[in-house]
Amino acid sequence: MALSYMRVCGGASMTFLCGIRYMGLTAGLCRPKLAATQLRLCLVRQYSPSQARYGLGQSIAARLKWANEKYERFLQRRFPRFFILYSTFMRGFRLFFEDAREVHRIRIRIIKNGIDPRKLPYRDMEKLRQFHRDMIKAIPLVIISIPPFANYLVFVLMYLYPRQLLIRHFWTPQQLLEFRAVYHAQRVQHHQPLLGGLKTTASHLAHEQLKNRLTELCSKVQSGAHPVVSDLHAVSTLFSGPPLGIRRMGADQMRHLCTLLFLTPRLPAFWMSQRLNSHALELMHLDRAIINLGLHQLSDVELKEACYVRGLNVESLSPAQCRDWMSQWLQFSVHLKESETSLYLHGMMLLTVNYQNLPHS
């Protein structure tokens, strides 16, 4: 930067001297106005402000990059644990802003072309869904950081409670595995209460055939067996209206379902039913988008993410096992009506709880 500055100053000095010399020689021959005009022309020829600003900006950017790289090497050498945190945060901000730009492009395309969001390609729909959830989680942290000097408190909170306050972009790969295990363990705690609620409902059914089918389904799952898709379709009518429809079931059953989607259960029953219904419909549209794309088009990372969102513990499963389960799930989902979102949500428990226990080749 010093070298560039000397060059700029040297060029300006030569221009200034040239102008003085030129004016001295012409002072007696030219009028003052003409001499001033010729001086301006000389300055333009010798010194371009736009080029100087561009060169100075490049020099500053290069010096800042060099200083940042030196600082990172210092942290990595002297404070390796802090460097991991620092690099994770920098990578997180970069990924978050990349997602924000991508979401902005998708929304602009929706508005310009009048596209129905439910007809978007799978990856665009999934990007919108995940970014919306990330923003909702980030809002409390943003509100906390508004008061003056509150950013110091925010850094402390983020360090102490990364799972509760930070979104996935700011987790290390180890934290991602750890936090996913924690969240799935929370889901598993509600599997048995959900099964118990279904069994209690079955005991009060007047329709004998449906009563027997639902009781057999619950008993099969409780015994450790994995049900087939046809077992769930056989009782679908119970989940489109009373007693297990999304707006007909009891509040306790809805609270257990909320945990499968990582939604708060501390809301009034009518609000919980609306949120459950909207999230289930969103996933059903995503399932249809996967079918349109082709299951084989999903990468292993995308496949595991899709299975995890739908209730499956993917950490102990291979990509082939995840693909097999997702194929079964799509066979279950594609035949459901929009009025059967309750069965879709219960399927996140019924079709996942014993899948890890199956013998896989």
DSSP state of 81: H
- pLDDT of 116: 92
pLDDT at 33 over 60: no
In the chain, pLDDT over 70 holds for what percent of residues?
Answer: 81
- What tens digit of pLDDT does each residue of 191-204 get? 999 999 999 999 99
- pLDDT of 140: 81
Give the pLDDT band (50/70/90) at residue 235.
Answer: very high
Q: What is the pTM of this model?
A: 0.78
- What is the 3-state secondary structure of 222-237? HCCCCCCHHHHHCCHH
Give the pLDDT band (50/70/90) at residue 4.
Answer: very low
pLDDT at 25 over 70: no
- Distance separating alpha carbons of residues 12 and 8, to the nearest angstrom: 6
- What tens digit of pLDDT does each residue of 254-299 get? 999 999 999 999 999 999 999 999 999 999 999 999 999 999 999 9
Task: Give the pair of three-digit tokens for residue 202.
Answer: 């079955």
- pLDDT of 23: 36
CA dihedral 339, 343, 348, 354 (to 10 degrees): -160
- What tens digit of pLDDT does each residue of 104-125 get? 999 999 999 999 999 999 999 9
Give the pLDDT band (50/70/90) at residue 360.
Answer: low
Domain boundaries, the chain: 2-77, 82-169, 188-357
Angle between helices 122-144 and 269-293 (to 10 degrees): 140
Give the pLDDT band (50/70/90) at residue 53.
Answer: low
- pLDDT of 63: 74
What number is the average pLDDT over the span 213-233?
Answer: 95
